[in-house]
């Protein structure tokens, strides 16, 4: 049976739903990231734990987890109960409610840099709030970001992001903040670009722009650009350099927050920034984000110099979800994180063996319960985003399609999320599917 025939039969209802959506939604998807899935963007009927079921009745072990929020798995009962209880009290008030302080207190208890916390709805909003706070606190205009790091979809920082190969391939400084989309405002007056894991380059940049740089923002693990961990001593040096330059250090922990450890990357690596942004796992899948920072830096919000606004900031149902989720992270630590680490390690070992047996070159990065897989020579050095461009992305996307047909949902770009709900049985099933998929992939060369 041809691939087209398989798609038409196995995913018939998903195909029909996407065609229906295209009549009223551009491209048929609500976020462009979903459009990459082959043979069709899945339409999901329900999800629980580590599993999802699509509208055609196909069940999947899920390693997408809503692009990361579902650290406790889909539909965690503690969170559902808390949200259900809150819904009976109201959705939003245009006034304060007790859960706001309860969420903030839990963030302060968990996060090393957190003395004060303000809330938004999405990670993109939280990043913009953090940058505004940094500019107000320092009186400086510019921000340094890194190639391949992603800080949301809004104009000022949607530059040199994963997928902009031209920016990553440019060999000589100064690196240009290339926009990611048509219609985007020119960011060149606001953003400076540097390479990840090159502390000397960051030192030169800050020395040359000493009175201009308000903040250096980074994913402390470069998750979106290949799950590239910081080199030994890099975060410590960045902390030293920014402090000496009078600039703020911002960790974008939208992905790593509460996932790499209860205190996120700050706890895992032992480096404390001035500000950090959170989303995804903070409310176990409900829309909530946060900026956490020192009282000194956050004073510009406290005294009104930076009015922080938003209709749905810390909306009661999302706040209820966050309180429930953050309580689970606290009560089940460190066992929850030890288990996540062990399951991810077993999965990584199984995938490596399956690829080796099939003769498919597979490079695997793992940081805690996050994995990134590339069709790439395993011995290749990957220290920055440009190093990932040697990977065969089309071939891995085909592998993801083959895995989907065997009941495993993997992002076509090779980023895997693990949850507390993933079991040894899930991993065994996944490795079996990977062995068959790698074998089929090898035959297609």
Q: How many Cβ atoms from other residues are within 10 Å of residue 350's Cβ?
A: 17
Is 329 one of the catalytic residues? Answer: no
Per residue, the 3-state secondary structure of 67-127, as one string, reads HCCCCCCECCHHHHHHHHHHHCCCCCCCCCCHHHHHHHHHHHHHCCCCCEEEEECCHHHHH
Is residue 14 within a helix (H) or strand (E), and if so which, with residue range? Answer: helix 12-22
Q: Which one of 234, 274, 280, 329 is the catalytic residue?
A: 280
Peptide bond before residue 424 is cis, with ω within 30 degrees of 0: no
> What are residue 194's DSSP bridge partners?
146
Q: Which of 54, 62, 252, 426 is catalytic?
A: 252
| Separation CA 355–CA 346 (nearest Å) | 14
Do 419 and 50 contact (CB within 8 A), yes or no? yes
- Virtual torsion, Cα 398, 400, 402, 407, nearest 10 deg: -170
* Parallel, antiparallel or unpaired: strands 370-375 and 408-409: unpaired
Q: Which of 100, 96, 48 is nearest to 76 (CA)?
A: 48
Does the annotation mark 280 as catalytic?
Answer: yes
Write down the catalytic residue from 11, 60, 63, 150.
150
Cα–Cα distance between 148 and 134 in angstroms, integer?
22
CB 435 within 8 A of CB 357: yes
Tokens 């099939």 sit on residue: 358
Ranges of beta strands (E only) in 63-199 are 116-120, 142-146, 191-194
| C-alpha torsion angle, residues 323, 98, 267, 123 (rounded to 10) | 80
Whether 234 is a known active-site residue: answer no
Q: Which residues are identified as catalytic?
A: 150, 252, 280
């Amino acid at each position: 049976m041809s691939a087209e025939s398989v798609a038409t039969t196995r995913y018939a209802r998903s195909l029909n739903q996407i065609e229906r959506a295209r009549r009223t939604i551009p491209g048929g998807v609500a976020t462009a990231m979903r459009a990459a899935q082959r043979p069709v963007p899945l339409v999901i009927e329900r999800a629980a734990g580590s599993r999802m079921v699509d509208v055609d009745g196909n069940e999947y072990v899920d390693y997408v987890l809503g692009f990361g929020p579902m650290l406790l798995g889909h539909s965690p009962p503690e969170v559902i109960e808390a949200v259900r209880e809150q819904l009976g009290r109201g959705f939003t008030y245009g006034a304060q409610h007790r859960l706001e302080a309860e969420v903030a207190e839990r963030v302060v208890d968990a996060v090393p840099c957190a003395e004060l916390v303000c809330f938004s709805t999405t990670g993109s909003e939280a990043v913009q709030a953090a940058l505004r706070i940094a500019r107000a606190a320092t009186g400086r205009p510019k921000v340094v970001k890194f190639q391949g790091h992603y800080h949301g979809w809004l104009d000022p920082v949607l530059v040199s992001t994963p997928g902009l190969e031209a920016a990553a391939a440019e060999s000589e400084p100064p690196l240009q903040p290339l926009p990611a989309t048509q219609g985007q405002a020119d960011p060149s007056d606001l953003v400076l670009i540097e390479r990840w894991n090159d502390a000397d380059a960051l030192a030169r940049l800050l020395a040359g722009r000493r009175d201009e740089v308000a903040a250096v923002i980074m994913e402390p693990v470069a998750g979106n650009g290949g799950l590239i961990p910081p080199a030994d001593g890099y975060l410590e040096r960045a902390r030293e350099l920014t402090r000496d330059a009078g600039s703020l250090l911002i960790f974008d922990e939208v992905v790593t927050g509460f996932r790499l450890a209860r205190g996120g990357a700050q706890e895992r690596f032992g480096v404390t920034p001035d500000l950090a942004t959170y989303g995804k796992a903070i409310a176990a899948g409900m829309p909530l984000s946060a900026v956490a920072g020192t009282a000194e830096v956050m004073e510009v919000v406290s005294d009104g110099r930076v009015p922080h606004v938003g209709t749905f900031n810390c909306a009661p149902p999302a706040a209820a979800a966050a309180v429930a989720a953050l309580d689970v992270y606290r009560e089940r630590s460190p066992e929850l994180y030890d288990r996540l680490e062990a399951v991810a390690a077993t999965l990584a070992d199984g995938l490596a063996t399956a690829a080796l047996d099939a003769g498919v070159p597979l490079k695997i990065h793992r940081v805690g319960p996050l994995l990134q897989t590339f069709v790439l020579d395993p011995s290749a050095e990957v220290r920055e985003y440009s190093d990932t461009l040697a990977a065969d992305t089309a071939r891995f996307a085909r592998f993801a399609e083959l895995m989907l047909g065997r009941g495993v949902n993997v992002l076509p770009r090779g980023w895997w999320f693990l949850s507390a709900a993933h079991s040894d049985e899930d991993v065994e099933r996944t490795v079996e599917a990977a062995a068959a998929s790698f074998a089929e992939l090898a035959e297609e060369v």
